[in-house]
Amino acid sequence: MKIDLHNHSYYSDGFLSPTEVVDLAKQEGCDVFSLTDHDTTDGLLEAQKQADKIDLKLVHGVEISAMWNNMTVHILGLNVDINNSILQDGLKQHQDFRKVRAAMMARGLGGAGVFNALEKVKLVAKKGMITRTHFAQMLVQEGVCKDMRSVFKRFLTGKKPGGVGAKWAQFDEVISWIHASGGQAVLAHPLRYRMTNTKIKRLLTHLSAAGLDGVEVVTGSSSKDEITLVSQWAKEFDLLVSSGSDYHGWPNQRVRIGHLHDMPNVNKTVWKDWSWLN
């Protein structure tokens, strides 16, 4: 069974529509696929329509930003009920913060000589949500930076002109929203937080105590050694394991949907109890 449980559409910072990502997942040979946009489930209605049409199993998902120790981490909610009001009220808080943050970022960029950044970034964002990826795309289009990576470094982090302190909900609250909606909470891409291994293990300790169900062992950019390392942590913390590409579909992104290394501990997968899959 080919499965990919971490993907984005243009309802957050992906490039393609939900219909296009679902079609692509099928084309790449996926049997099971999850759309996990940042802090919104709005793309799932369209994704479900298309998944039904082409007979692809769609897992309703979301990638929620969360605070741990004053840092942002990403927690996937998988197999959630998108009609749950606790989940949607939580996501609404994050969507509201994104609006405030976008205006603050634009003001900061104005101070650095990038004018009308809010108007410009709105033209880039295809749906209501504005992410830092949209700002990055806009600054590349404007010729301010040569690529997305350098925009993040020069403008969108820490005390840089467009850097704004994150104000997401705390990790335990985010996990409780996911559980309220019947979903499973999975820490996304543990090796992408610029933390030492000691610190990641502290993160896993705190999240596990708050009810974390699983950890993403395989991502689109994982090496074999990284997979071995994270699957050892999964064992150590008695967490389920998940696999997802984190596909965004930006033109220069190398990651492809469904192109993932095998999972080492296959009997402890996050999807093992989803009876509707079988």
Strand partners, 33: 4, 58
- If one asks whether residue 13 binds ligand AMP (CB under 6 A), the answer comes out as yes
- Single out the residue of 26, 57, 60, 74 in contact with Mn ion (rule: CB under 5 A): 74
Residue 216 binding: pick among ligand AMP, Mn ion, none (C-beta 5-8 Å cut-off by kind): none
User: Measuring CA to CA, which residue among 244, 260, 245, 249 is closest to residue 9?
Assistant: 249
Tokens of 212: 């974390």
228-247: which residues touch ligand AMP (CB under 6 A)? none
3-state helix, strand, coil split of the chain in percent (to 5) is 40, 15, 40
- Single out the residue of 41, 79, 131, 219 in contact with ligand AMP (rule: CB under 6 A): 131
| Count of other CB atoms within 10 angstroms of residue 58 | 19
What are the phi and psi torsion angles at 95 (to 5°)?
Answer: -65, -40
Report the nearest approach of ligand AMP to the CB of residue 65 (Å).
6
Q: What is the dihedral of CA 107, 109, 111, 114, to 10 degrees?
A: -120
Q: State how far the Cα of 175 lies from the Cα of 76, in Å rounded to an integer.
A: 9
Tokens of 69: 């120790």
Report the nearest approach of ligand AMP to the CB of residue 113 (Å).
22
Q: State how far the Cα of 121 lies from the Cα of 115, in Å rounded to an integer.
A: 11
Toward Mn ion, which CB reaches closer, 20 or 110? 20
Give the binding range for ligand AMP (CB under 6 A) out of 25-33, 81-89, 144-152, 216-224: 144-152
> CA dist 113 to 54, 110, 142, 162, 186, Å?
48, 5, 12, 11, 40
- If one asks whether residue 13 binds Mn ion (CB under 5 A), the answer comes out as yes
Toward ligand AMP, which CB reaches closer, 149 or 235? 149
Residue 177 binding: pick among Mn ion, ligand AMP, none (C-beta 5-8 Å cut-off by kind): none
- If one asks whether residue 152 binds ligand AMP (CB under 6 A), the answer comes out as yes
- If one asks whether residue 65 binds ligand AMP (CB under 6 A), the answer comes out as yes
Residue 94 binding: pick among ligand AMP, Mn ion, none (C-beta 5-8 Å cut-off by kind): none
Residue 65 binding: pick among Mn ion, ligand AMP, none (C-beta 5-8 Å cut-off by kind): ligand AMP
Report the nearest approach of Mn ion to the CB of residue 3 (Å).
16
Judged by the rule CB under 6 A, the positions of this chain that interact with ligand AMP are 13, 38, 65, 131-133, 148-149, 152, 248
